[in-house]
Chains A and B, each alone.
Chain A
Amino acid sequence: MSGHHISSAKFLWGVALALFVLTFITVAVTWIQIPEPWNIVVAIAIAVVKALIVVAFFMNLWWDSKFNVLLFIMSIAFFLLLIGITLLDTLYRVDPVPSF
């Protein structure tokens, strides 16, 4: 729970290495042409993993107070809410883009 977590240099380099590898993978999978929509799923999944690694180990949320974790989760939840409910409209319109 302490806010003063000190990571070792080795650990930080390890985190960065993992991120570099994931960056390479996300580029590499585009070479093998995964069919729609799985290519999007894979790309987003890798990005999410990368983001979580940054949040947990660079931003030290792993060792941080629970409320800061909650704040982060809350921002993601409300972002998903914004997207989810808007898509309820835009995906289900009879005439997708109203013509004037």
Chain B
Amino acid sequence: MSQPSATEERLEHLKHYFIDSDQQFEASKMGMWVFLVTEILFFGGLFLAYIVYRAWYPELYLLASEELHTFWGAVNTVVLIGSSLTVAMAIRSAQLNQIKGLIINLWITIGLACVFMVIKYFEYAEKFGKGILPGGYYTYEGIEHEQANIFFSIYYMMTGLHGIHVLVGIGLMLWLVYKAKKKVFHSGYYTPVEITGLYWHLVDIIWIFLFPLLYLID
């Protein structure tokens, strides 16, 4: 075990193989950044598919994106940016030892994430109703283009995977609330809040690109 030099620091979070809290915090944060690299390249594959087919069928993208509602896309963008703000505020609260503020901000973030998912649900339901289903189940005849299904395959893959990431984020933040209520976090240790925040911002960034690429083509 390392010898804690500070006198009144809370150190129960410190693992024995780290020398001090700073080393542990920096290691966790770097680990999260490495993970975000993998996330960027994971979504990168879908962006590649999007770009390749957009270069092949530009007119398809123009026609198909009319089926998407710019208004709701924009609302969801604002909702996610708002949740990014509250997650940043949550980290700030933790840094300042304001556990109550941390919990409130986390709850607002969770709420906004749920709003996002509800809007997404109604968007999906509306398309399913029209027969705009993914892949081979596509039956809609309102778009006069042979490859209309391809656009919606990409749309469902991108927004679907993004939606799964939002759900995972909601789960992580519920867990953070639970931990915060058990008084685990304080200004000397808030690593899980920080790295969950990083993850959540990345989910926001991906949506920042999905919005203009899918909704704003016309």
* CB proximity of A54 to chain B, nearest CB, Å: 5
> What is the interface size of chain B, counting residues whose CB is below 8 A from a CB of the partner?
47
B6 at the interface (CB under 8 A from A): no
* A55 & B201 in contact (Cβ 8 Å cutoff): yes
Number of A-B contacts (CB under 8 A): 122
B85 at the interface (CB under 8 A from A): yes
A99 to B81, CA, bound (A): 44
Q: Assess A75 versus B41: contact at CB under 8 Å? Given A4-B95, A47-B208, A83-B48.
A: yes
A91 to B89, CA, bound (A): 45
From B96, which residue of chain A is reached at the shortest CB distance? A6
A75 to B216, CA, bound (A): 26
Q: A86 contacts which chain B residues (CB < 8 A)?
A: 48, 52
From B81, which residue of chain A is reached at the shortest CB distance? A19
List CB contacts (< 8 Å) of A1-34 with chain B.
3-4, 6-7, 9, 12-13, 15-16, 19-20, 23, 26-27, 30
Q: Which of A47, A54, A58 has the most CB of B within 10 A?
A: A58
* B34 & A71 in contact (Cβ 8 Å cutoff): yes
Give the contact stretch, choosing among B8-16, B25-33, B116-124, B166-174.
Answer: B25-33
* B85 & A15 in contact (Cβ 8 Å cutoff): yes
A94 at the interface (CB under 8 A from B): no
23 A-B residue pairs with Cβ-Cβ distance under 8 Å, sorted by A, are A3-B29, A6-B96, A16-B81, A16-B84, A19-B81, A23-B77, A23-B78, A27-B74, A30-B70, A47-B211, A50-B205, A54-B208, A58-B85, A58-B88, A65-B26, A75-B37, A79-B44, A79-B47, A82-B41, A83-B44, A83-B48, A83-B51, A86-B52
Seen from chain B, the residues whose Cβ lies within 8 Å of a Cβ on chain A are 22, 25-26, 29-30, 33-34, 36-37, 40-41, 44-45, 47-48, 51-52, 55-56, 58, 70, 74, 77-78, 81-82, 84-85, 87-89, 92, 95-96, 197-198, 201-202, 204-205, 208-209, 211-213, 216, 218
